[in-house]
Every structure is written in C-alpha cells, then in structure tokens.
Structure 1
Amino acid sequence: MRAGAADDLLADLTAPLIRRSCLTHIERRPARAGRRGSFPEWIDPRLVQHLSSRGITAPWIHQEQAAQLAHDGQDVVLATATASGKSLAYLLPVLTAIGAREHDYAAPRATTLYLSPTKALAADQLTNITAMADGAGIRDARVAVYDGDTPSEQRRWVRRHGTVVLTNPDMLHFGILPGHEQWAHFFRALRYVVIDECHSYRGVFGSHVAMVIRRLRRIAAHYRADPTFILASATTANPELSATRLIGRDVEAVTEDGSPRAGLTIGLWEPGMRTRVDGRGDVARWQDGEGAQVDAHRADEADDVDGGAEGAAGISGAAADEADEGAAGKRREDPLRRSATSEAGAILADLVERDVQTLVFARSRRGAELVSSGAQRLLTQKAEHTAAPGLADRASRIAAYRGGYLARERRQLEDSLRSGELKALASTNALELGIDIAGLDAVVVAGWPGTRASLWQQFGRAGRRHDADGGALALFVAREDPLDTYVVHHPETIFGAEVEASVFDPANPYVMTPHLCAAASELAIRDGEEEIFGPTARDLLMTLAARGVLRSRATGWYWTLSESAHQLTDLRGSGGEPVRIVEQASGVLLGTVDAASAHTQVHDGAVYLHQGRSYVVDRLDVEQAAAFVHREDPLHTTHPQSASSLRIRQIDREVDWADGVRLCFGTVDVTDQVTGYQVRDVFTQAVLAQRPLDLPPRTLTTKAVWWVIPQALTDAAEIPGEELPGALHAAEHAAISMLPLLATCDRWDIGGLSTALHEDTEAPTIFVYDGAPGGAGFAERGADDAAAWVRATADMIGECGCEAGCPACVVSPKCGNGNEPLSKPQAVRLLELLRELDGDAGSGS
C-alpha cells in the first residue's frame, strides 16, 4: 500500500456510526532500512552466486552473525522479527557443509536434522531448502520430510540417503530415536540440528521436547557425533535462557535485527454493543456490522461446545477456542458486545471491497470458517443491492485456512494467496509460524492469541514486502474477555512491554520419568550419562529400578519390560488415550477428543459439534475410550458442571505479604468430577433442565500458587461473610484470565479453586494451578511476579463498567459452577486490599 494508506483505511473502517468508538488506540511504527553485512569467506561460492542472481548480494547483519557462530560450532538461537530471513541464516552453514565433499573428497560427510512444531512448516521449508540447493547446484543436498504422512517405501530411502531430514518432535520421539540403528549412517554424519520456531515449545509440550532433545544428543554421541544446534525463534524475552533450557547446554543469542521493516499502523479495536432490531426480547436478532443481521443462536454468539470447570484445566485448545465467547456471558442483563468473530468478518468484507489483501487470525477452526463465510455473505449481499462492479467476484476470493484440511488443499490456498488469486484468508494460528506468506496489506487478529509473542508474529504477516515507502495495517479485535478488554484499554501492555519468555520445566518428574524409560530402551543409560537429563535424573532412575521398571547394574540402567517405553509418553499432554467419537448407527469414526476433555465435551447427553453438524452423545464408555453419538439438531446446548477439591501436598516457598496474608507456591492434588450438566435454550440460554452424571473423579498432581487471606482481614475490610465466597470466586476468575500477561499460557492452560475456609490453610484461600501433571511453569511464573499480577487483575476488574460481573471481567466461560456465586463489588475490594498490602510489605513476591 502507498504511504498513508493505512490511515485512510482506518478512517474508512471507522466511518459508520456503529464503529465510531471502536478504535481505542493507534500505534504507528515507522519503516526501517536494513543493515547489510557480508558473506563469510567459508560459504560455498555456488550459494553466493545463486543468492546474487536472486538480488541478495549480502546478508543482513543478524544472518551473518548467526551463520558464523553456527559454522564455528557454537550453539546459537536467532531471535528476530517475523520475515527477518532466519531460514537463510541456518541454510548458509548447512548447505555449505553438505556441499563440501563435492569439491573436496577429504571433507567429512554432513547431515542435518530439521525440527518444526508442525507438519505444514516442515513442508514449506522442504520447498525453500530444495529450491536453494537446486538453484546452487548442491547435488548432495537430498532434502526430505520424514513424518507420519511419509509412505513406508519413502521412509527407507530417507533413512539411507537423506542429508537434510525435516521432521517434528513427535516423529523424532516415536519413529526415529527408537530405531536409531536404522539411522546409523545419518547420525554418524550429523553436523547440525535446526530447531525452528523454538518459542512454540512451552508448557508441558516444551518440557517433553527438551527431554527428546537430550535423548537425541545422547544417541548422536553414541555414534560419535556432536552436532551444533541452530535455533530460530520469534522475538522473546531471554531467548538464550529458553534455548539453553531446551537443548540442555549453553546457547548464544543473536537478537539485533538487521532486516528492513515496512511501516506498520496498528489499531486496537473494541467491538461496540449489539443493538436489538426487533422486539422479541432475548430471542431477538441483533444488528451486527453494517446492516447485516445475525441470529443470536449463531455458533459464535452462543456456546455450543463446552469448556470445563476451573477444575478441568488443560482442556484441549480446540475446545477452548470454541468456548471463548460462551454462554456464560448471558449472566447479566446488560447488552453484549458484538462478537470478535462477527466484527472481524465485517472488517474483512470492508477490506476486500477496497482491494486490500488481508489475513485474519481467528481463535478456532470454526471461527476461521465463520469469518470467511461472514465476509463472503456481506459482500454478496452488497453486490445484490448495489451496482458496484466486481463485489461478487471478490467475495469468491475469500477462503478459510485451518487444520483438518488436506495438505494438498492447504498448499493450494497458500499458493493462491501468494499469487494474489485469493484476496483474503481467515486462518487459525496455522499461518502464524514461518510459512512464507509475503506482501500482505493488512492483518486482523480476532481475539488475544495467547501471548505477546504470538500477537507480534501475527502482526508481522502484514507488510512483509519490506517496502520502505509503503505501509501496512494490523488490527487487534477484542473478544468480550477480561484480558482482551484490558489490553485494548491498556496499550502499554503490548507496546511498552517485553514479549514473554517461554515457560517450561524440563525437571518436571512427570515429564522426565517416561523419557528416562524411553532413553534406557534406546540405549542402556550408563553410569554418569544420566547427567544429561538433569540433577534429579539419578534419583528418578533409582526409583524406577526399585519399582522393577528398570534393571540396575554396575554399568547402568536397562529397560526390562516387553512393551514399548515410548508409548508411555504423551508429548502433547493430552492426558491419555484419545476418546473416539463414533456414530452409533453407522459405526463411522467421526473424530477424537483428548482424554482430559472427554468428560466435559462428550459426556452422556452432550451436544457435540463436528464440522458444522450437531450430534448428541448417547453414551460415553470410559473404559473403551469411546463416545457413541447420533445426528441431531437440538434447540438446546449442554454445559457441564463439576465439583472440585484441592489438597496441598507440599509448600515449596512461602512469602508473607503483610497482615497475615501469605503467598505460597507448591505441589497440590486437584480432584475434579463432572457431576452433571445443564440443558440451556439455544436462543436465550435459559436453563431448561439439570441432569446428573455418574463419571469417575480425575486427580491431577500439579503445581499451584495460592493466597491465604485471614478472615479477620476480610472482616476488617467489611467484606460480608455471606459474600466472601463470591468475592474469592470472582477474584479467582479474574486472576486466571490475567495470568497470560505474565506467562506464555492461555486461560485454558490453568485452573483455579477458591474457598472461604480451606481444610489445609484453615482460612479463605485462592488457588491458581497448572492444568498439566507435575506443572508447566505457569503458576510458578505467577508466583515470581505476583505483585504485577495482582495489580493488573485489580485494574482490570475495577475498570470494567458492569455492575454485577460480565465476560469482560469475572464471568468465565469455563466455570463448572455456572459462575455462581460471584460478587464483583466485593472482589474489587478484596483485590484492592491485596494490592495495598503488597505496597505495605514493600516486596510483593
């Protein structure tokens, strides 16, 4: 776009009366010229010549620095902005090493293992690496993907002949390390390991990947290889610390970004209130956007896939995204804001009408489909009622992009967007990572993506042509959610703050134990070798030997069982065997849901949405891990209810804030049981019935942070005893929603519990805990910066204009108690008390 075009677009977008007050903040980032370095002398001249033919006569300074460190054998993490050319930085040493033997037979063989968090990214890099190797004429660069989709005959070829093998942590764990003998040829020559988008390895998944990397290092050492690790990351806080924790040895960071940057105008957008357009009360249709009417029971307005209770933290991301604008919002009588999904669809229609190539990031697969179809519908309707030429054609050039599509379909969509054939895509975060989608005019982010790092990654998709004279537009559209609402009214949380550090804990015993078993089954763990896994590994090995899982000998530890040790490990932390969803009449497998979410999503009687069609669950067979369903379009939704209890196992640390208030961090046991569900009218969300369920309890041992607040203090603050449970509950909801400001987590990664009298603390207590066995590091991050956490939570709840509580402050879409009891006014008083006491203590956490 031309200079100033972004400002013109914002003016157009906010011209309609319904949008006049939506824009809460504008931030302008000027264009930046690039800073060039020079190609080091050791680079294969064929690469230099090939790059020169493409107009690349010198690398950016960060590319040169990272490539030089890697060539010198120094593990390095390159943490620079989206589209800064990180791929070239690792390809220079990788392809140079591989091509060395073509002109010097004395040079050692060199192979490279490339790890990405997604198959799509690996497929994209396959194209890029192959094109560069072929363009430079490096014949020994035999580049291949090795993942779950790779045919058996091709796998054999890759093991024998591949020199650049692209895979993911799951396949490395399940398919490569267990059969390392078949990879001996590859491992003996292993020179580099590239870990792309390493900031995505966080929480329990990050802890698992850290253990897989340690096992990889051990196998490589067995074949007398000591590869150099090259990590590529989005801009993160302390990238060298996160990368060091991930691979288990010191890593040097390159963070000075020398790439050019196009000008970017960023707008923070809060949708306005819905306005009734007929007189039918709660069953009304709402006016949304510019004249488009949408039913109140539409999927993005009413919650048709259920989240869990706070006690069911760790619910799958898909379910979490589906519930993000849930029916909890119907608790109040105030008008609700237009949904972020509907708003993004209307904005997308306006942008496409103006011939602006746009990418929309939605929170869920369904959200991406709804944004796309909503924009198409608006443009089609306008084409029918106006004489504007080309609108119908532009509507056909909008598409959705998400997981669940065939790889061939995704590649076609990516190519069509690059070529300009497609004018817009509405995507999940599948396009957030390094897939090369360049030159977009605008990006719209519908709903907080989880972290600042993700937000900047998504914003970075706009203006990737590096046109110094041009500009691009990025919009963040807030959901009616506490964190989203807080961000659009506190722009300093984005523009004045560092991005988060990746949070994960490789020492988590629940993570380390199965990996020690896997390592012992791959190669006996010799005495002293266990140090690669961390200082607690030896004690865990001795415990496993005492249980008979491993056999201890003078030379080390050996795997003794006949079954595969690798099946003990669930890298993605889904909580066990996935539950199959089977259509009862036909026996067709519709899909799966992870075990941790099954009790809340596919319990008996649950309404389950699959690919836009509704099903009702006839029976959940817990033992067989199967849910049997039938096709139905009911006029109700289902909302699980649960009972939770929490016992403190161990206090790791404790801080006295003041006046007897204690902040604690430690290990807890959380027991959660889905006890029943509400049947709610799909239009009004009125409760039609309450149904009991008989499901077994589930216990989670994890890490938590908690506040112990003496009742004498709450009495002195004039918080009535009958309202204390509601005050604690509302403060708990608010704290859960705000923790993602500090830690690289989502609301759905954590859980909470509050009580006016806890049996272990004998006082009013608020707990927030990690939703993964052994903990994921999120609660600990909250304990580390509790003062800032309390301040942000108090500010958020105090600034919300509602009286009784709403989805923008204390009403939670995942509450298993139906958001009862809640007392927003007393929660404000309680949080202000904690804030004041922190100031009195003078230290916070």
Structure 2
Amino acid sequence: MTQEILTYFQNKKYFRDRIEHIEEIPPRRARYSIEDPNLPAALSDYLDKNNIKLYTHQYKTLQSVRSGENVCITTPTSSGKTLSFTLPVLEDLTLNENDTALYLYPTKALANDQLKSILKVDEECELEINPAKYDGDTPKSERPKIKQTSRLILTNPYELHLILPWHKQWERFFRNLKYIIIDEAHQYRGVFGSNMALLIRRLKRICKFYGSDPQFIVSTATLANPQEFSEKLTGLNFKIIDENGAPSGRKYFIFYNPYKVASKNPSIHTDTQKLFKTYIENDMQTICFEISRKMAEVVALRSKKELQNTNLKLANQITAYRAGYTVDERKKIEDDLKNGKIRGIVTTNALELGINIGSLDSVMIAGYPGTLISTWQQAGRAGRKNQESIITLLAFQNPLDQYFMKHPKVFFNKTHEHAIIDLNNREILRGHLKCAAYENPIRYDEIENFGFDDEGVVFDEISDLEMEGILKYTHDVWKYDDEKLLKQDKTPNFEVNLSDVRSEPYKVFNGHQFLEEMSEKQAFREAHENAVLIHNGDTYLVREMDIANKRIYVKKVDLDYYTQALKEIDVKIVREEKNQKFNDITLSYGKLNVKEKYDRFNTIHYSKISSSKKLNLPPLNFKTQGFWFTIPYDIKEELKHEMGNTNIKFNDMFMGAMQGVVNIMLSVSPFHVMCDTYDLGGVTKNMHESTLNATIFIYDAFEDGVGLTKKAFKLFKDIIKMSYEMIHDCECSDGCPACIYTSQQQTDDKNLNKKATEFILKRLYEITKDA
C-alpha cells in the first residue's frame, strides 16, 4: 500500500514537483526481556491472557522501581511507557493494601483514556484498587467516596493545585502515598514547567506533613536532557531509562512544500486537503494534525463534501476532533478510529498525547508544530509494530518550515531539544510561596526545598510577603494572614495561573457570554479597543477594554479584515552576568529591564494595510533575562560600501537590516530551546546607551525570565549559522515570509531589506564560525 502511493506521487506531476525530500526510516525489531518478572499471580495471568511480553525497557523499569529508585522513562511515543510505570505500581498496590498512587496528566482527555486501561486491569484481576479520575468534571456526589476508598487517582496539575489547600480531606490518601507518576512530562516546560516544579514541591511538603515519602516515576518523550529535566521538575535524583525495546514498522517521511513551485495562489491548506483525500481514497487510515481548531474543521468539512458525490460511504468516515467537543463525542470518535470505522480524522494537537487510538497508516502534519518532540509524537501515531506507514510534513511559508525543506538532514540528524525549567523566576516563586503558606505554615528549614539556586532569594520573597502583610511570622513559622484572607474574595490558589507568570488573566465577554481568558500581553496584542479578535473561527470586534477590572467586551461581526498591534520597545541593561568575544563582536547575557509600549495598530485588508491608528495603552514593564550582541563599526562600513548608492537613506537601511536579523533569529531560536516564538522578544538599537554601539537584544518575554535565552546564549553560534543559511537559501529577491518577514513580532517592518540583512548575517557567521 505504501509503495503504491509513493509511486503515485512520483508519477503525478503536481505532487512530485512539491516533494522536497523522502526519508526512509528502517523498521525496528522488538527486544523482549528473557527474565521472569515474578509478578503476583493475578497480574501474571493478565499478561499471559492478553499475550503481553515485556520489552527490555519495561522490565528494566519494573526492577528499578522495585529497588526504590525514582525513574525517568524517556522513549518514543508508542513504546509502551504506560505499562512500564503501571505494572510496578499495581504490583505494589496488590501486595500492600494501604498504599496509594497519584497519576498526573497534562489534560483531562488523557486521564480519561488511561483510566479505562487501569479499570480493565483492576476488574479482570480483582485487585479492588478502585481507580478513579478526580478533576473539575467529577460529579460532587462521587467525590467523598473517591477520597475515602480510591487507592489510585488520576488528575491534572490544575486540579491538584486546587486540591492541596484541602489536604486534610485527603489525609488517608496522602499519608499512604507511595507513587507519584508524571506522564507526558515534556509538556511541563517554560512557564508551565516552572509552575509545575513548584507545585510538585508543595505536594512533597504535604506528603512529608503526613509522613509519606513517595517515589516518582516521570514518563516523557525523548529529551536531550532527561536527567537535568526530571531533577529540576521534582528536586530528586533519577535513574534514566532511555533504551527502547518496542518494535516499529518502516516509515517514509515526506517533506512536502506547497511553496516550492511558483503558482498563482499557493496554499498549505489546499494541498493538505488534496493529500488527505488522496490517502483516504487509497485505503490509508489517516490522521491530519492542523494548527488551529478552525482549519481542522474546514479541512474535514471540505474533504467530506468533495467525496459525497463519488464515495458517500468514505465521506461518512471522515471527522474532525478538537478540544471543545463533549466527553461522549470525543470517546465515540476515539473508539471508532480504533475500530477502523473512521478512515480519516483532522485534529489539533489534542490527539498528539498518548491517547490510545490504535495504529494508523498515515500521519499528516500541516506545519512544523514548533518542536521536534511534538513532530515525532505526532509522527509516532502511525506504523506501530511491523506496519509500514507514511508521515507527511507540509511546510508553511515561514522561515523555520522552509529551512527544514531545504535542510532535511538538520531535521533528521538533530538530537531532541532541551526541556527548559527555570526555578529562579521570583514572580512564579512568590505565588507558590503564598499558596504553600496557606496550605501549611512554612518553617525556616523548608526554604531549601523550593529548589532555588540561591536560598537567599526564597527568604527575601518571604520577607517581602511578610512586610506586605500577606504572611505573618508566629511561633517560628510563616503562615498566611487570616485577616488578609478575609479582605479577599478568593484564596491564593486562585491567584496563581499555572500557564502564565502574571497570574490575573483578562476575561473576554460577548454580551453576557464568557468566551475565553488571555494573558495581559496577549490582551494588549490581540484585544485592544477596535481590534479584530478571532475565537473558534468567528470574528469579533473589541468594543471596550477595561484594564482596571481586566475585562474585554466584544461584539460578533462578520469582517473581512484583521488588525495587528505594533509596539515600541525600550530595553535597559541591569546587570551583565556573562560575556564572550568573537573578534570585535561582544556577546553578553544578563538581567534586563524591558518596556513594551503598544502605541498603534494597522488594519490589514487582503494582505494590504488599509489604515493605521493610535493606541492609548499603558506600557508593559518587566524585568527579564536576555542576551545581546554588538554589530562592529567595520561591518556597518562594509555594508555601506556593499550597498553602494541607493535612494534609501543608509540609517533606515541599516536599521531595517538589523530588524531582519532579529526576525530571523526569533524564528530560529525556538528550534534550539523548545519554545514558542511568542515566548521570546527582540529589539534593535542603532546606538545603545550601555554598549555605545549598534546592538541586538533577544530576551525572555516573561517577568524574571524562564531560562530560554540562557540556553540560547550557549547556542549562539548555531543560531547565527542557521539564520544565515535560512536567508541565503531563500529564493525570493526582496524578502518574504519565508525569510525576513514575520507575523509574530509586532514591530514596524517598513525598512526591511533582504540584501542588507543577508550581508550582516553572512559576516556574523564568518566571524563566529572561526572563533
């Protein structure tokens, strides 16, 4: 089947002309353990009955957990990680009738799916563990019984964050807690990861209070730094299990570029639909990952319509799948997909995680998902065991997608990214210290357990909270001030947003209907007055932005234009902590003060700016981390000579060239440090007051920073190399969205100049590569 479709693509000019590369990934044979696992009779019989033999990494995990070690399993998707950590947990709970276990999943859907598997084992083996899911969807009538009888509970970080203040109701569970499992742990990175790390430390405090000291089992996709990551996440030492004994079939990985051929209206969405339909018509069960809910629905709907006239049965076997569907709807789709009743499904990353949907013939990924981890997680949905499969990565017309199309070896040879967790964000620490004190008074000897490089920072934050009257020092402990609590209408746990640094979100309303929440920065960027806000594929016009009460009021309107806010950025160097010299280039890293002022917005109609209006928003000021480097005077003079006489003022050209460098670096850096483009900010200064030179700044776009640019500082040479290759390989003449133009950064791009940008990047590359 796979060979026939590959031959069809090679013979069909439309597809052949757009295929940049096909990588053949050889099959991998299963490696089973030959050791007897010596499991309790009920579990042993279950494995025999279901014809399950343990892979080498599953047996190794079993032995490591039995010996009392904290274990981090870092193997590819579909390698049987769930059985790896569930088997030793069920063994212990079978042998020790009081022990309990807590499973943490990043999403409710994943917890629902895993619960089904555990319930099946519990029922067939008559273990009487009473596994249960506990989250916001759990009926109130069932909650008391779960707290009293369940020995294995599945939940998510958001629910745990709200459970901890009520730990006395969970005394039985916490007193006997033997295992904490953190599944799909690679999701906890950046701001979410830093919050999760402090949430885990709060959980450990509660366990210690009740006399338990649980083992941790962390399960994650393949990472470059599993040891560092798991230790920062939990504050404990870990045994790493990274060998993979699971089999997989031969895979053909296609790089497909809709923009390779000059055509009137190239479109990734049109080509996604063509390929999706082609795979399904050739009897390949296919999952297509889209970047947005709207496009998932659109591609599924258009594919169904096209097939209704030619193959009605097949048309009825296509569906979309995304967040927002009811639990029953999602469950039916998952079951139908697993049973083969659905032949084609278009989804967001909602099905990227380990929900069991069986094995597929084809995976389509419409646009690079942002990280190699996500790409391989999605690709791993096809071709389990000995089954051949095809993965198709379609490129958007943005710099990183187009770079991979031209440099497939970089993609396939690149080790997986580092997952960054920074424990030194004082703003995040402050929120969790308030929560911890509210849950249980903080003792002085607990300060080191909060994981900061400098324990003095923790003490300083506690002292500040005491000075502000939030914490009260009494009987040798800091406790949350009861009088302060009475003045508030919510506990500190409701003030801390695990997905953001600045905790209080803006709420968006259409009349009395609540639509969504967003961070302050996103609100200023996308939901200022007269902005066009897109929600679930519908367009809304922002009527009012109430900054004092953090509320946004919108009206649903059909619009054929969109808006883009523009900002001015000012940056001051607070403290240089590291520096490195590359001949005349000085690269530095340290603390920065950033002021972002959204001062106007453009209305864009059919890709053209139709109007530009002023905004009256207060500036966003924050302290952060970042790196900066100078452009030597010699390069500036060489550029002036290189460009010769033009009608463009040289200073405008030079600033446009520097802005092009920033745009490309902001596109490239997420590949190296595993983050979203919006997690970083950048600005150029023709003559900065501290460096007395032309300077480019790249910074973490969060209060106090989360360690992203700290990692990027170390990889500066790699980032410059990739940036130069990206612009050098782009076939456009004057700059395009595949090189220097970007929709991510809200800065004025009117002076962008491809030739000047390429010249600067070439010189930077030549200087740094020889250093």
What TM-score, normalized by structure 2, do the two folds share?
Answer: 0.94
- 421, 425, 431: which one aligns with 2:345: 425
After TM superposition, give the deviation of residue 700 of structure 1 in Å.
2.6
1:123-174 deviations in Å (ceiling 9; x for gaps): 11111111111122211x1111111111222222221111111111111112
The worse-fitting range, judged by mean Cα deviation, of 724-733 and 551-560 is: 551-560
Q: Distance in 1 between matches of 2:38 and 2:500?
A: 43
| Alignment-derived partner of residue 740 in structure 1 | 670
Q: 1:715 to 1:462 in 2, by over 3 A?
A: same
Distance 2:450 2:263 in 1: 60
Three-state SS of the structure 1 residue aligned to 2:554 is strand
Name the structure 1 match of 2:271: 343
In the alignment, which of 450, 462, 472 is matched to residue 541 of structure 1?
462
Check the 8 A contact 2:566/2:601 in 1, yes or no. yes
Q: 1:551 aligns with which of 472, 475, 493?
A: 472
1:54 shift after superposition? 0.7
Partner AA of 2:514 in structure 1: L
- Partner Cα distance (1:539, 1:693) in 2: 38
CA drift at 1:725 = 0.2
* 2:404 matches 1:487: yes
Count residues in correspondence. Answer: 753
Structure 2 residue corresponding to 1:448, chosen from 368, 387, 391: 368
Q: CA deviation at 1:273?
A: 5.9
Distance 1:576 1:673 in 2: 20
Q: Distance in 2 between matches of 1:520 and 1:459?
A: 44
Match of residue 492, structure 2, among 565, 575, 599: 565
Q: What is the alpha-carbon distance in structure 2 between the residues aligned to residue 580 and residue 207 of structure 1?
A: 24
Comparing 542-551 with 117-126, greater Cα deviation is found at 542-551
Contact residue 40 and residue 64 of structure 1 kept, 8 A:
no
Measured in 2, the distance between the counterparts of 1:137 and 1:474 equals 41
Paired residues of 2:438 and 2:492 also in contact (CA < 8 A): yes
Q: How far apart in 2 are the matches of 1:717 and 1:591?
A: 48
Alignment of 1:63-462 (within 5 A): 63-100=58-95, 107=96, 109-139=98-128, 141-174=129-162, 176-272=163-259, 286=265, 338-380=266-308, 383=309, 391-462=311-382
| Contact in 2 for aligned 1:768/1:779 (Cα 8 Å) | yes
1:12 to 3, 8, 28: 8
> What is the rounded CA distance, in whole Å, between the counterparts of 2:41 and 2:358 in structure 1?
28
Residues 332-378 of structure 1 deviation map (CA, whole Å, 9 limit, x = unaligned) = xxxxxx33233212110111111210011111212212222232233
Q: How does 1:727-806 map to 2 (within 5 A)?
A: 727-806=657-736
What corresponds to 1:498 in structure 2? 415
Distance 1:480 1:807 in 2: 6
Does structure 1 conserve the Cα–Cα contact (< 8 Å) formed by 2:321 and 2:330? yes
Amino acid at match of 2:280: V
DSSP-derived class of the 1:822 partner = coil
Question: Which residue number in structure 1 is paired with residue 647 of structure 2?
Answer: none
> What does residue 330 of structure 1 align with?
none
Opposite residue 653 of structure 1, the aligned amino acid is K
Instruction: Say whether residues 1:62 and 2:57 are aligned partners.
Output: yes
Shift of 1:528: 1.3
How far 1:14 sits from its partner (Å)?
A: 4.7
Amino acid at match of 1:130: L
Q: Tell me the equivalent position of 1:476.
A: 393
Structure 2 SS opposite 1:702: strand
1:509 maps to 426
In the TM superposition, what is the alpha-carbon distance from 1:573 to its structure 2 partner?
Answer: 0.6
Give the alignment partner of residue 28 of structure 1, picking from 24, 28, 31.
Answer: 24
Q: Write the distance in 1 (CA, Å) between the matches of 2:120 and 2:752.
A: 59
Query: How far did residue 59 of structure 1 move?
Result: 0.6
Is the 2:259–2:267 Cα contact (8 Å) retained in structure 1?
no
Contact 1:39 1:48 survives alignment (8 Å): no
Contact 2:635 2:760 in 1 (8 A): no
Structure 1 CA distance for aligned equivalents of residues 100 and 602 of structure 2: 57
2:646 corresponding residue in structure 1: none
Equivalent residue in structure 1 for 2:745, among 785, 793, 815: 815
| 1:829 equivalent in alignment to 2:759 | yes
Give distance in 1, aligned partners of 2:233 and 2:745. 34
Unaligned 5+ segments in structure 1 are: 101-106, 278-285, 287-337
What is the rounded CA distance, in whole Å, between the counterparts of 1:80 and 1:346 in structure 2? 33
Say which of 667, 675, 687 aligns to 2:599: 675
Which amino acid in structure 2 is aligned with residue 635 of structure 1?
D
1-structure distance, mates of 2:269, 2:676: 19
Structure 1 position 476, deviation (Å): 0.8
SS at match of 2:673: coil
Higher relative contact order, structure no. (Cα contacts within 8 Å, ≥ 6 residues apart): 1
Q: Residue deviations 1:430-487, cap 9 Å, x none? A: 11111012120000111111111111111100112x12xx310111111101000011
CA distance in 1, matches of 2:744, 2:389: 36
Q: Name the structure 1 match of 2:587.
A: 663
CA distance in 1, matches of 2:545, 2:36: 62
Change (3 A) 1:356 1:223: same
Letter in 2 for 1:457: Q
Aligned-partner Cα distance in 1 for 2:520–2:561:
25
Deviation at 1:811, TM superposition (A): 0.4
- Does the 8 Å CA contact 1:341/1:362 hold for their aligned counterparts? no
Q: Give yes or no for contact 1:575–1:596 (8 Å, CA) kept in 2.
A: no
SS at match of 2:146: helix
CA distance in 2, matches of 1:87, 1:499: 21
TM-score by length of 1: 0.86
Distance in 2 (CA, whole Å) between partners of 1:566 and 1:590 is: 23
3-state SS of 1:95 partner: helix
Measure the CA separation in 1 of the matches of 2:553 and 2:426.
Answer: 36
- Alpha-carbon separation, structure 1, partners of 2:80 and 2:130: 22
Q: Which whole-Å deviations, capped at 9, do the CAs of 1:193-234 have from their partners, x for residues lacking one?
A: 000011111001101101111111111111111111011111
Letter in 2 for 1:109: N
Q: Given that residues 356 and 423 in structure 1 are in contact (C-alpha distance below 8 angstroms), is that contact kept between their aligned partners in structure 2?
A: yes
- One-letter amino acid of the structure 2 residue matched with residue 509 of structure 1: R
Task: Please give the per-residue CA displacement for 1:249-296, whole angstroms capped at 9, x wherever unaligned.
Answer: 11110001011111111111111468777xxxxxxxx4xxxxxxxxxx
Give yes or no for contact 1:19–1:271 (8 Å, CA) kept in 2. no
The percentage of counterpart residues that share the same residue type is 32
CA distance in 2, matches of 1:93, 1:403: 32
Contact 2:108-2:156 within 8 A present in 1 as well: yes
2:372/2:417 contact within 8 Å kept: yes
Structure-2 change in CA distance of 1:508 and 1:582 (3 Å): closer
Amino acid at match of 1:260: P
Letter in 1 for 2:66: H
Distance 2:540 2:76 in 1: 43
- 1:473-509 Cα distance to aligned partner (Å, 9 max, x none): 1111111010000111111222111101211202222
**Retained in 1: the 8 A contact 2:500–2:519?**
no
- 1:828 aligned partner, one-letter code: E
Question: Is the CA contact 1:212–1:515 (under 8 Å) kept in the aligned structure 2?
Answer: yes
Give how far 1:527 is off: 2.1
Shift of the 196–623 alpha-carbon distance from structure 1 to 2, 3 Å rule, reads same
